A and B are shown apart, each in its own frame.
Chain A
Amino acid sequence: MALDTVGIATNSPDTQQPWRELGLKEDEYQRIREILNRRPTSSELAMYSVMWSEHCSYKSSKVHLRQFGEKAPKSDALLVGIGENAGVVDVGQGYAVTFKVESHNHPSFIEPYQGAATGVGGIVRDILTMGARPVAILDPLRFGPADAPDTKRVLPGVIAGIGGYGNCIGVPTVGGEVIFDKSYLGNPLVNALCVGVMKHEDIKLAKASGAGNLVVLFGAKTGGDGIGGVSVLASETFSEKKPTKRPAVQVGDPFTEKVLIECSLEIFKEDLVVGIQDLGGAGLSCATSELASAGTGGMRIELDRVPLRDANLSPEEILMSESQERMCAIVPPAKIDRFLEICKKWDVVATVIGEVTSGEHLEITWHGELIVDVPPRTVAHDGPVYNRPYKRPENQGDLCADAAENLPRPTGEAELAEAILKLISSPNMADKTWITEQYDKYVQGNTVAAGPSDAAVIRIDEESFLGVAVATDCNGRFCKLDPYQGTQLALAEAFRNVAVTGAKPLAITNCLNFGSPEDPGVMWQFAESVRALADGALEMGLPVTGGNVSFYNQTGDVAIVPTPVIGILGVIDDVRKAISYRFTGEKELILLGETLEELSGGEWADGCGHLGGIPPRVNLQKEIVLADFIHAQRDYIAAAHDLSDGGLAVALIEMLLQSKTGATVSIHGDPFMHLFSESSGRILIAVSSEDSNYVVGKAADAGITTTRLGKSGGENLEISGVLSLSMLHLQEANQRTIPALFNA
């Protein structure tokens, strides 16, 4: 079939178009016709269909996400908010930090290595686009049961993909999570968070302004990868000779990305661009329409100038291609020579493909013929908005009534010891060195702390030792039991993980992973979760700087447990003062916070195959008090570790294993409850004996409950009058699980 131009479209209103195959609803297609006052060309149809997709338009989530703006706390730290590629916060000394987390769940299930690799590549480009040097990557990951055959296919590929890409671009991978749950079988979650650092004056925005400025595409050539739904246009409506159904998963080339990072940073340093956007989801369609929409509106693109890897690509495919490692910059004509010179130095292909115009339309031509003529805002921002029905599921009440607190509990020394060993050798609690060892955590030379520490701590200034701390968290089982409370528990945990390093939490990002928005029960989980996060952010005085929504994480009717991954960024004025969860020498062990009988949704209950009840209470004010206390007393605290999954038992054993020592502790009251409860708002600290009275006194002044557990030392974990376990035995139990499952 011949090229479909604007002229042809105007004169052939009745031509049948494959809007349904491209995922558009009939009313959406009609709306496009109304906007254009004619039928769209095939290129326009392709652009609208990807930009109005759930992934790009947030059409089901928008009405809820508005709360982040409506309830936003006043924050002096926020420099760039939601809507740009990533939010930016002020961390002092003229530095700005940007961070964002995104999902690459579906591609990683289909092709684990490339799905995960390009997930890393995409988030790194989002951060780079803000003008920042990417300085850290964290990967919150969720998989099906650890012993499921498909997990053995997915997990090693995902880990190798993250390492293969991250290690090769020279950005340290310093944290994240690895969690197993049966609901993720068939729906693994691969989220990637990137942190970037820049000076305030270097912040860049995705905006095309200034008529006459040039649109430059630079980086990798455009190929047929990642075209997805648009192959419908290529294979069913157009030439029979074309290859059909191109791969929908993109293929990454980290070497190209590394060169693109250095090339872009050099370009930014010389202030050669007025706007910049990376090419991620929806490729050139997204970049051109978003740049034009955020600017004055007018842009003309000569699509035939785009350098191609495959000369057979149709214009529709070029517009939709999600080929990786590409950027689009708006460059003033006076600066183009220098821009191209820097690209040449780095052997990066750069092509002027168009210019900003004084008009209001995005016009795209193909060998001189007009194939796209649209108001860019209608593509980028005026997509459909759905207020989808939501309803608390019928069985939610039964689920909450079935509390784990009613399960039979282990009693006596032998049963308790067995329960502890089972807990710390469970895949969720087991040592993850086999995974983290595949990531380069040292590159750039600024890593002060990396996983398994509570939060990653990165130095950002070598002279002043200013740094940031970052953590991500979410217990999806808590969110299943109560999406509101579960989300605030995730917020509290991420906050606490940053706080235990002595950093001051500053901003929130999120990656909201849910099932199908067309299921009212899932939509209720989502609505509750967003409401909880907006309320929590307001209460804690922290801005939500951006986020990502991933829907349709479900197999058949069965959705994943709701997984709103929360990322918190904190600032630390001097990384030399950062608190680790490792200590040396004999220390007194003190528990901060109150332990209540809260077992539902926790790791012990999960080990019993139980999910039901009400998740632990959350008190955000208490979290703030704890964080302020740790920061104020950091000179007296030798080590600090957050209590969360697995409660005191896991936190204590982790701290002792890291510190290569045993301990003798006393527990007053029911030992099982105190060891396994997952009450929030608790931190385990290690303090020198001479400082302990002072620290306990200060905690009491702050209104924090303290429990003096005992002292470190020896080769066993002695719980007086209850049990004794050798640290060697505990270590072996903790370390053998993951290698035994995944070593090929």
Chain B
Amino acid sequence: MRVGVVTFPGTLDDHDAARAVKYAGGEPVSLWHGDTDLKDVAGVILPGGFSYGDYLRCGAIARFSPIMSSIIPAAENGLPVLGICNGFQVLCESHLLPGALTRNVGLHFLCRDQEIEIVNTQSAWSGDFTRGQRITIPLKNGEGSYQCDDKTLQELEENNQVIARYVGINPNGSRNAIAGITNKQGNVVGIMPHPEHAIDALTGPSAAGLAFFTSLVRARV
């Protein structure tokens, strides 16, 4: 299964995302921000990093890149898209997901091993988890505080659109301790912590993050 991994200028975790796809049994396909061709992929990952230097606002410029002009309509037609960290910010800026991500409450960049609880196992990217499963994966961001208005928050909760929540101390002040959300259709997922850095206990706090990638790859084999 071909899974696209987008590289914007300033993207950092594209290599890691591609590695995760490979570990999950898929074929990573590199997608360049300046192209519009999705190269026949069955899913797309927007990796972490600082696209376009995070100038103006995180994800604000990436949202207008040529590749996003292809990804946005494809996602609206059901193409599975996973945005990690900066990718989550790009999805919010693109209005594929509601809400926004703001500075951490402590105003510091934070890199730590974070426990999260999987809430929704119905999305294209979370089917391999069990509901309520707790996993520890790296969290690393400066602007990871998920914010939205009360009405949106209520809808997210009612529609089971929360993918995962932080366990224990809320590290960045996200509303309802939200670590990740999905759209109503369940094909677009944004998550702030980094499952691609937790695919092997040798280099990450666990290998539990791999299930995000196998969820997509296995379901579509």
User: Which residue numbers of A lie inside 8 Å of B, CB to CB?
Assistant: 160, 163-164, 167-170, 253-256, 258-259, 345-347, 436-448, 459, 462, 575-576, 744
Contacts and interface: CB of A to CB of B under 8 A. Distances in A.
A-B pairs with the 4 shortest C-beta distances?
A: A255-B53, A170-B12, A445-B16, A442-B197
14 contacts: A168-B12, A259-B9, A347-B9, A437-B108, A437-B110, A437-B111, A442-B138, A443-B16, A443-B140, A445-B196, A447-B203, A448-B203, A462-B19, A576-B202
A168 B52 CA distance: 11
- Among B10, B34, B112, B203, the most chain A Cβ lie within 10 Å of the Cβ of B203
Contacts of B203: 442, 445-448, 459
A426 B196 CA distance: 37
B12 A438 contact: no
A491 B52 CA distance: 42
Given A164-B109, A170-B49, A255-B53, A445 B10 contact: no
Nearest to A255: B53
Interface residues of B, number: 29
B123 to A, nearest CB: 24
B50 interface: yes
B53 A440 contact: no
A253 B53 contact: yes
A443 B12 contact: yes
B55 interface: yes
A444 B10 contact: no
B93 interface: no
Contact of B140 (A169, A253, A440, A744): A440
Given A164-B109, A442-B111, A442-B197, A346 B202 contact: no
Contacts of A259: 9-10
Contacts of A448: 202-203
A445 B19 contact: yes
Contact of B204 (A255, A438, A442): A442
A440 B111 contact: yes
B2 interface: no
Contacts of A169: 12
B147 to A, nearest CB: 22
Contact of B50 (A168, A439, A462): A168
Contacts of B110: 437-438
Contacts of A437: 108, 110-112
Interface string B109-152: 11110000000000000000000000000101010000000000
A253 B52 CA distance: 12
A176 B135 CA distance: 29
B9 A445 contact: no
A575 B16 contact: no
A167 B109 contact: yes
Given A255-B53, A438-B109, A442-B197, 19 more contacts: A163-B109, A167-B109, A168-B54, A169-B12, A255-B9, A256-B53, A258-B9, A346-B9, A436-B111, A437-B110, A439-B109, A440-B109, A442-B194, A442-B204, A443-B16, A445-B196, A446-B203, A448-B203, A576-B202
